[in-house]
Amino acid sequence: MEKFDVIVIGAGVVGAMIARTLSRYELNVAVIEKESDVCMGTTAANTAIIHAGYDPLPGTLKAELNVRGNKLWDQLAFELGIPFKRTGDYVVAIDSNEFNKLEELYNRGKLNGVIGLEILGRDEVLSRLPYINKDVGGAMFASTGGIIDPFQAALAPMENAVVNGVKLFLETSFEDFIFDGKRIVGIKTNKGDFLCSWVINAAGLYADTVMHKANLHPEFKITPRKGEYYIFDRNEFAISEVLFPVPTEISKGIMVTTTVHGNTIIGPNSHEVPDKEDTSNTVEGLDEVFKGASKLVPQIANSMKHVIAIFAGLRATGNARTPNPNIDYHHDFLIEVNKDIGLVNVAGIESPGLASSPAIAERVIELLKDSGLKLKEKKDFNPIRSPRPRFKDMSNEERAKLVSKNPSYGRIICRCEYVTEGEILDEIHAPVPARTYDAIKRRTWLGTGRCQGAFDTPRVVEILSKELGISPLEVTKKGDDSYFLLRKTKEV
Amino acid sequence: MKERYDVVVIGAGPGGLAAAISAKKEGAESVLIIDRDKEPGGILNQCIHNGFGVEIFKEDLPGPAYAERFINEAESVGVEFLLDSMVLDITPSKKVYVTSKWFGFKEIEATSIILAMGARERTRAQIRIPGFRPVGVYTAGTAQRFVNIEGFMPGKRFVILGSGDIGMIMARRLTLEGAKVERVLEIMPHLTGLTRNYVQCLQDFNIPLQLSHTVNRILGKNRVEAIESVQVDEHFNPIKGTEEIIPADTLLLSVGLIPENELSKKVGVKIDPLIQGPFVDEEMQTSVPGIFAAGNVVHIFDLVDWVTDAGITAGKGAARYVKVVKEKGDFVKLVPGNNIHHIVPQYIKRDALINGPVKLMMRVVKPIEEKVWVEVSDGQNLITRKLERYVRPAEMVTLTIPQKAYDDVRKTKELIVSVERFGG
């Protein structure tokens, strides 16, 4: 049986970043993921922000890794060919009461080492953000804040890792560890046993149950915190800034922000839920988000008819104490190595996990190195992942050239987002293949426009069926039993 | 295929087909219809039920048969088709950018354009139904395509939201295919589709309709498992205690159509916010001269026969426009040259300068932050020019053709407007 040097559990953004970093070295690495695609959990449903780092308490792991992670994104986005915009972000104080809290945030940012912070008075904010609530008291502007496509931010490093030799096993769920009495020598999964020397637990919402299987941290618990969102039709209602309210103890608050695709997004609220799979929208939650966002931008109240999607995501909130003994904070990232058994835990990675993920990967490699894992750099590691053609973003001249080279780029499948057959074929046959409708959607942004897949779905089912060599009845939306079609007609 | 057409029609549904035929019959020499689908006919192709053509043909036809009559007529009068091809952009100067697997990326020039893109269906997010996002939530039209064209059933046990015609027709269609339609829910206190469809599609098949009811929640994470319905009061607020869980694997949404006008908006056609379609005059001409609109792109019609009628009107209008433009000796075309995006007006009367100078308004493609000439020529000789300190796309440029250019303008077929370097 093949033996791996390292197995990473979980292919979210954290697992993907770790896998890519490991792929720089001469190691035999596997990633296992229980879902049908990478990044279907927390990574696929969040606010898509690369935080500047002024929010976490100074001295926490969150603060350190957020600021470091933020710095790493320019180089990463360049190497991985993904859109990343350093838009800067605003923390908007609605009245003078809130304005007083900005100073605290500013000082916290300074202590964390965030550069480019600026406190703006009411008039300056009104001139920069003319649509803001007229009761605005002022704002803090952080020039290093940014936005990214969170799915691309995780898919691209995973793809790059696969190209550099990492083996990815989808629909493979962790069941238990295999011990040789003392140390982990492998894992049991629904697809059989995998042998290995090290395991990295990056299981997101399930990182607690994974570590409990190794009898570690029985007191550690991950509580899902749900956040709900609305997305607007960019042709009808769009702002191009990233706006936070003044944060509270438990949350950064309900934002009004923009995506790299140009859609305005509002959310999230923040409520603990008992179920780690509960990504359902609720009437109360949607109402709360609407009210919170309208407080920042009142005109949202008149733009709700331009909402094109609603969704909810879960944050993996942990209860780990900050390693620094001088700080009494119990929701920090848990990143640690257990050298004796051969396990690295990366848990409780809630916000700002996306921003921090490159720095988390660095930290994990350091821990492994300090624990004796031999890291010899690969001579042929290729850090570059070239972006694939995106018809929508091209000039007419570029389009003409692309279509003349490959006619399938001339056939539009998604008419709202201008996604072509060629792009869909590319994704189905990519290093991390898209094998479901949602996998294609997350990669190409197909079906995310005003008609929400009403026109493209039958065509995508046809293409997936043909390319994967399966019946249309076997094509799914997101794996498991999510079949689009249940039988042929004329069969009753 | 030619590079230029008198009339380009976007969309080969009933509105587009009727418009193209009528434009051709009214004297437009070359007419092209462009459609995204592999077959002309539009949504009619998936409407295999009857009820089409009662007013126009005094016959009760299924959708594809109704479409076929117009497709045949279009072919016989010499309308050309470009299928499986999509229009990405149109310009006020009537350039049409189209992409296709078969013909590549093309730029086609038209004298007149008819918008006939139809409508799209409202989706789940627009009515904000809470719950999970499982597979099994379809618009009625998407389900109709799966069943009637692809030959597959998207579910076995259905709840339908909305008593519009598509919803009720699908209720009958699915029942005939052996599926169970549990219920049609309608938030309004009255039916929203035609009474004849209520009788023929629901009553005749014992499918219950619940007025003043809506979907409260979708249950099921991967696949729809049940639909929670709820009664609403006169303000459409859910009445607590009236919730009911209806086991089902599929929810069909038939909650309204929205005219599809993204292309229209991009070219600057003014849209009536009340109906989401363009403002049009009695000829179905939009606010952009020479651009006409036909069918559901304007507003949602009850009967296809009326869509056809409106298409005929638009086609006549487009043909008349082409005729006026083309009457040789009467009009001179203004052609965007170097760094000019578009010019208004697009045409001037050949002897327009008799009455005084003519003012042109235009926008540039790229900014130039230095002195430039904005000039008008007949292709060879300079007719007039004006110095600008800079040009920027956001700032409209104007240029007046002086009266003394009367003789030059009378001689030429077209006037080319361009931005040139100051030194040049």
CA distance A469 to chain B (A): 17
- Is the model's pLDDT at B237 over the cut of 70? yes
* Mean pLDDT of all residues belonging to chain A: 96
pLDDT at A350: 96
The rounded percent of chain A whose pLDDT value lies above 70 is: 100
The structure tokens listed for A319 are 């209860």
pLDDT at B273: 87
What residues 59-98 of chain B have any CB closer than 8 A to a CB of chain A? 84, 86, 88-89, 97
Q: Do A462 and B154 touch (CB under 8 A)?
A: no
Q: Do B126 and A307 touch (CB under 8 A)?
A: yes
- In order of their start, the domains of chain B are 1-121+257-328 (3.50.50.60), 123-253 (3.50.50.60), 329-423 (no CATH)
Rounded Cα gap, residues B336 and B344, in angstroms: 10
Q: Do A492 and B177 touch (CB under 8 A)?
A: yes
Both A313 and A363 in one domain: the answer is no
Classify the C-alpha dihedral B362-B363-B364-B368 as positive or negative: positive
Specify if A63 maps to a domain: no
Best to test chain B binding among A269, A277, A442, A451 (most B CBs inside 10 Å): A451
Range of the domain at A341: 3-43+151-221+320-370
CB proximity A421 to B under 8 Å: yes
β-strand B180-186 against B157-161: which pairing, if any? parallel
Specify if A48 maps to a domain: no
How far CA B202 is from CA of A86, A284, B50, in Å, comes to 56, 34, 15
- State the amino acid at position B223 in one-letter form: R
Rounded Cα gap, residues A51 and A67, in angstroms: 8
The rounded percent of chain A whose pLDDT value lies above 90 is: 96
Both A232 and A310 in one domain: the answer is yes
CATH code for the domain of A475: 1.10.10.1100
The structure tokens listed for A461 are 């089912």
Both A302 and A236 in one domain: the answer is yes
Specify if A66 maps to a domain: no
pLDDT digits (tens, 9 = 90+) for B111-170: 999 999 999 999 988 888 999 999 999 999 999 999 999 999 999 999 999 999 899 999
Q: Do B177 and A308 touch (CB under 8 A)?
A: no
What is the predicted ipTM?
A: 0.92
Q: Which residues of B touch A421 (CB under 8 A)?
A: 101
- Is the model's pLDDT at A148 over the cut of 60? yes
Specify if A384 maps to a domain: no
Closest by Cβ to B154, choosing from A285, A415, A485: A485
The structure tokens listed for B53 are 């053509």
pTM as predicted: 0.89
Q: Do B120 and A455 touch (CB under 8 A)?
A: yes
Buried b (16+ CB within 10 A) or exposed e, A56-70: bbbbbbbbbbbbbbb
Report which DSSP code applies to A21.
Answer: H
pLDDT at B346: 73
Q: Do B125 and A310 touch (CB under 8 A)?
A: yes
Question: How many residue contacts between A and B have a Cβ separation below 8 Å?
Answer: 147
pLDDT digits (tens, 9 = 90+) for B363-402: 888 999 999 999 999 989 999 999 999 999 878 898 999 9
Q: Which residues of B touch A37 (CB under 8 A)?
A: none
Closest by Cβ to A235, choosing from B134, B147, B262: B262
Task: Identify the band that residue B424 occupies on the pLDDT scale cut at 50, 70 and 90.
Answer: low
Buried b (16+ CB within 10 A) or exposed e, A170-197: bbbbbeebeeeeebbbbbebeeeebebb
Q: Do B123 and A458 touch (CB under 8 A)?
A: no
CATH code for the domain of A9: 3.50.50.60
Q: Which residues of B touch A487 (CB under 8 A)?
A: 152-153, 156
Both A463 and A396 in one domain: the answer is yes
pLDDT digits (tens, 9 = 90+) for A419-441: 999 999 999 999 999 999 999 99
What residues 206-235 of chain A have any CB closer than 8 A to a CB of chain B? 230-231, 235
Q: Which residues of A touch B88 (CB under 8 A)?
A: 399, 412, 418
Average pLDDT of the segment spanning B31-44 = 97
What residues 206-225 of chain B have any CB closer than 8 A to a CB of chain A? 217, 221-223
Q: Do A403 and B262 touch (CB under 8 A)?
A: no
Q: Do B151 and A473 touch (CB under 8 A)?
A: no
Closest by Cβ to A482, choosing from B124, B131, B223: B223
Both A256 and A329 in one domain: the answer is no
The DSSP-derived string for A355-371 is HHHHHHHHHHHHHHHHT
* Residue A51 known to be catalytic: yes
- Is the model's pLDDT at B102 over the cut of 90? no
Q: A421-428 vs A457-468: helix axis angle to the nearest 10? A: 40
Best to test chain B binding among A263, A441, A450 (most B CBs inside 10 Å): A450
Q: Do B222 and A482 touch (CB under 8 A)?
A: yes
Both A139 and A234 in one domain: the answer is yes
Q: Which of A374-378, B213-217, B394-398 is predicted with the least confidence, judged by mean pLDDT?
A: B394-398
What residues 374-413 of chain A have any CB closer than 8 A to a CB of chain B? 396, 399-400, 402-404, 407-408, 410-412
- State the amino acid at position A332 in one-letter form: D
Choice among A51, A217, A261, A331 that is catalytic: A51
Q: Which residues of A touch B97 (CB under 8 A)?
A: 396
CATH code for the domain of A138: 3.30.9.10
What residues 241-260 of chain B have any CB closer than 8 A to a CB of chain A? 249
Both A343 and A472 in one domain: the answer is no
- Is the model's pLDDT at B348 over the cut of 90? no
Both A357 and A463 in one domain: the answer is no
Task: Identify the band that residue B359 occupies on the pLDDT scale cut at 50, 70 and 90.
Answer: confident
Instruction: With beta carbons less than 8 A apart as the criterion, state whether B226 and B249 touch.
Output: no
Both A122 and A157 in one domain: the answer is no
In total, how many domains does chain A have? Answer: 3
Report which DSSP code applies to B237.
Answer: P
Specify if A382 maps to a domain: no
Rounded Cα gap, residues A259 and A242, in angstroms: 9
Q: Do B104 and A400 touch (CB under 8 A)?
A: yes
Best to test chain A binding among B85, B107, B126 (most A CBs inside 10 Å): B126
pLDDT at B365: 87
Closest by Cβ to A489, choosing from B102, B151, B249: B151
Q: Do A486 and B107 touch (CB under 8 A)?
A: no
Buried b (16+ CB within 10 A) or exposed e, A122-138: beebbeebeebbeebbb
CB proximity A163 to B under 8 Å: no
Specify if A362 maps to a domain: yes
pLDDT at B328: 58
The rounded percent of chain B whose pLDDT value lies above 90 is: 78
Closest by Cβ to B130, choosing from A282, A410, A489: A282
Best to test chain A binding among B102, B127, B128 (most A CBs inside 10 Å): B128
Q: Name B230's bridge partners.
A: B214
Q: Do A487 and B102 touch (CB under 8 A)?
A: no
Q: Do B142 and A454 touch (CB under 8 A)?
A: yes
pLDDT at B96: 97
Closest by Cβ to B134, choosing from A230, A399, A482: A482
Best to test chain A binding among B99, B103, B365 (most A CBs inside 10 Å): B99
Rounded Cα gap, residues A36 and A435, in angstroms: 8
Q: Do A411 and B126 touch (CB under 8 A)?
A: no
Both A279 and A164 in one domain: the answer is no
Specify if A229 maps to a domain: yes
Closest by Cβ to A415, choosing from B86, B121, B154: B86
Average pLDDT of the segment spanning A246-269 = 93
Both A395 and A350 in one domain: the answer is no
Rounded Cα gap, residues A345 and A333, in angstroms: 10
Both A324 and A314 in one domain: the answer is no
Specify if A309 maps to a domain: yes
Average pLDDT of the segment spanning A258-269 = 96
Q: A437-444 vs A457-468: helix axis angle to the nearest 10? A: 110
Task: Identify the band that residue B329 occupies on the pLDDT scale cut at 50, 70 and 90.
Answer: low
